[in-house]
Every structure is written in C-alpha cells, then in structure tokens.
Structure 1
Amino acid sequence: MIYKKYIKRLLDLSLSGVGIIITSPFLGIVAVIIKATSQGPVLFKQQRYGRHQKPFVCYKFRSMYTTAPKDMPTWKLENPEEHITPVGKFLRKTSMDELPQLFNIFKGEMSLIGPRPVVLKEKKLIEAREKVGANDVRPGLTGWAQINGRDLVGTEEKAELDGRYVKRMSFFVDCKVFFRTILYVLRKEGIQEGEIKTLKKRDEILDTKMEKIK
C-alpha cells in the first residue's frame, strides 16, 4: 500500500526528471530531424484517458504525416505504411516516439509502469478495464500487457492483463516489467502496424508469440 500511494510516484518523479535531463540532447536531435524531413509539428499531441478516465494530452514524437487519420490506433489502419514517415518508422520500431511521455510522467499524468493510456475512441477497452480496476491507476509508459503481446492481444485479453497488473502492483513487479520491456524493444516484439485482417492470421501470430514466451 505504501509503495502504491507514495513510493511509486516518488520514483516516477525522480526517474522521469533524470531521464529528461539525460536524454535532452538526444530529444533535441530527434526534434530537428523530424522537423527537417516532413511538414508538421515535432510533437504529436493526443487526448487519451488517464487515471479515473480523466482525459489528458499525451505527448509523442510525430511519426506520421499530418494527413493521417486522427484519433485512430495505428493497428486499425488498413495501409499504415502510407501514413508513417521514414523517420517515424524507425522511431516506432525502437519505441523512441514514446520518449516525450517522460514529461507526462513528470507532471503526474502518467507513470513509468502501468496500463497504456487509451485513445478516447477505444470505448470497449475502457469499459473492459473498468471492470478489472485498471482505470484506477495512472497509465504507464509501458505495462504488463506490453510485455505479454502488446498490439497482438485483443481487447478483453489486454484488459485482463492490465487488471492482473493492478492487483499485483509492487516494486518487484514494476522492475520486472521495466527490464522485460527493454528486451521487447530490442527484439521489436509485439508491434502490429495495421489491422490484422482475419482471425486465422491473428491466431497464427498469437501462437508464434506464445511459443516465444514459453
């Protein structure tokens, strides 16, 4: 209880602050490259649901052209490659587009570890999370669902994983998620750009994923 109420936020504040300072030169370089290679703002700002379903502005490096559909998860796009910039493709594959969320964490809108913040249109996931208490904590830069399938799990499965994290939340669980996230990023696992067309194809991907977990 002490960890959930006090220590977790203290760690978020200190680690995000240090992270911002350390990565600031790199963030500046990425910002210049984005601005120089495509038209539009450096940051992509999007309304997402936070703790207790309170909307907040989530920051990301812009990885798509300004003509891309708004407020739609990338995995739902039919032809995502048409909308993603060359620089954005690299940023998304390495998850570097999420780095500006360190500022969301520092401001107290997010946590380092927790359920990922949800786009306002994803009503089914919000409702499913409400049933398992996953909307009662700050959304995270990474979470339990991100190291157990990420984009390749369905709405109910994702909510179940998020609810499982909330019940087990502790310093040791957060450390486990943090270090496993690093492995996931290095292996580029669980990333799905564009809609999975058929249930059969989705099941094939999930079966492959489960074999890797085993």
Structure 2
Amino acid sequence: MTRLFDFLFSFFGLLLLSPILLILMIIGFFDTGKPLFIQTRVGQYKKPFQLIKFRTMHPNTKSVATHLASQSSITKFGSFLRKSKLDELPQLVNVFKGDMSLVGPRPNLFNQEELIEERDKRQVYDVLPGITGLSQVNEIDMSTPKELAISDKKMIDAYSLRTYFYYIFATVSGKGKGDRIKTY
C-alpha cells in the first residue's frame, strides 16, 4: 500500500515542485557548476542504486559520509539547502523509480562497514531505504551506527500506514535536523 502512496506523492511532488526544482537547479549551477549530486548508495537487499540530491558541497569534496565531511566543504547555498531540507527534493525521482520510499532507513555508502554490519544483524536491508523515518525525526544519524541500526529496526518493526504518514508530516513540519557535519 505504501508503494502506491510513494508513487503518487513522488509523481505529484515532482510535477507541482518542478518550478522550484528548476530554480534550485539554476542557482545550484551558479553555486558549484554541478547542481546535482549523484552517489551510489546501499539499497534494498544491499543492491546499489544512484541517490540523487542537490549538491551542497564543493564538487571536489571527498566522497564520505556526511558526519565525516568538514563544515568548510559546504557552500553558502548548500547550507541553505541543508537547513531547509530542499537538498532532498531530487530524491523524489528515486522514490518515483522505486529505488527508495518516502519512509525508510536512510541509505548509506558501501564504505560504511560498521553501519552495514549493524544493519545486517537487524535485517534493515530487507526494506527500501527512505528519505525520512524514525531516526531522522529523532536526530539519530550515521555517526552512531549501532544506535542508528537499532532505531531503524524499531521503525521497521512498528511500520504501519499511520507511522508512514507520521514520519512524513513530522519531517515536513521541521522535526529533525539531518546528519551532523564536522565543525572544524
């Protein structure tokens, strides 16, 4: 049932937000020259997929988990995108294609071995990764792999249509702040 909602929300979201997406693409082009950030992430059953986001860091920034990136690598426009969560909008394409759900565990990188191990223990990869979920609204990020995996499992075990909508509305209303960035 949630796949139907994912499809409808992503389709109409992309349709209705297309003017905003276009404006952000243009501003992003002037900010970094490459407005989209596409990165291979771990998907359902640990299959790779290409995650799409608006670029918030300089194009030459090393590809690491967000909590390992330096604050100095984030552009001014990127900082705005992160604070407003607008950097996540292109992931509606991932949801539309079926690589992701609106709600699920955040997709990690293949080099995050400790997180992969913790999530494997708890069968977190049996579900589609998502844009938001329990960990995101409770500000648990990938800097604490075991805590994140436990939270992901808790969300999966209690998953229902009600919790699906709760996480979406909690995120849209501003709950959660996303992954932490180093401040040096």
TM-score, length basis structure 2: 0.93
Do the aligned residues in 1 keep the contact of 2:43 with 2:49 (CA within 8 Å)?
Answer: yes
Of 12, 21, 27, which aligns to 1:33? 27
Q: How many aligned positions are there?
A: 184
Task: Flag the structure with larger Rg.
Answer: 1
Instruction: Identify the residue that residue 143 of structure 1 maps to in structure 2.
Output: 133
Change (3 A) 1:180 1:48: same
Do the aligned residues in 2 keep the contact of 1:63 with 1:88 (CA within 8 Å)?
Answer: yes
Instruction: Identify the residue that residue 111 of structure 1 maps to in structure 2.
Output: 101
Superposed CA offset, 1:18-72 (max 9, x none): 0000100000000000111223x221000000000000000000111112112x0
Flag the structure with higher helix content.
Answer: 1
Change (3 A) 1:153 1:124: closer
**SS, match of residue 150 in structure 1:** coil
Report the alpha carbon displacement of residue 151 of structure 1 after superposing the two structures with TM: 2.9
Superposed CA offset, 1:137-175 (max 9, x none): 000010111011233861111000100111111101111
Tell me the C-alpha RMSD between the 2 structures.
1.7
Counterpart of 1:57, as a letter, is Q
Do the aligned residues in 2 keep the contact of 1:152 with 1:190 (CA within 8 Å)?
Answer: no
Do the aligned residues in 1 keep the contact of 2:115 with 2:142 (CA within 8 Å)?
Answer: no
- Stretches of structure 1 that go unaligned for 5 or more consecutive residues are 1-6, 198-214
Aligned residue runs from structure 1 range 19-168, under 5 A: 19-39=13-33, 41-70=34-63, 72-77=64-69, 80-151=70-141, 154-168=144-158
Instruction: Identify the residue that residue 171 of structure 2 maps to in structure 1.
Output: 181
TM-score, length basis structure 1: 0.81
